[in-house]
Amino acid sequence: MKTFKKQTKEEMVVDTVTCNGCCKAITIYDDRLEFEYTFGYNSEKFGDMIECRFDLCEECIYSLVETFKIPAKLVDRDECYVFSSRVTDDQS
């Protein structure tokens, strides 16, 4: 037979998020990119098994996406509609 007792456990939770791009404080409910990627053996810029982590606010995500030579595809999750990140480009 087991008996149980109450135990208070300390837990780490996210308190603040700061955009790596512009240093703006982001609330945890704001739209943001939480990027985490571990590079592999063929990585020439970062190195094998180097993990890269950063957070970006919506404005910095938009600025980054606008630099892409091939526009990112944006999907309206409500309408399942795919369109280009550049409204002047072909809507394919």
Interacting residues toward Zn ion by CB under 5 A: 19, 21-22, 24, 57, 60
| C-alpha to C-alpha distance for 16 and 23, rounded to whole angstroms | 12
Query: At closest approach, how far in Å is the CB of 86 from Zn ion?
Result: 20
Query: At closest approach, how far in Å is the CB of 22 from Zn ion?
Result: 3
| C-alpha to C-alpha distance for 32 and 42, rounded to whole angstroms | 29
The smaller minimum CB distance to Zn ion, of residues 50 and 72, is found at: 72
Query: At closest approach, how far in Å is the CB of 24 from Zn ion?
Result: 5
**What are the structure tokens assigned to 26, written together?**
């982001």
Q: Which residue type does 27 have? A: T
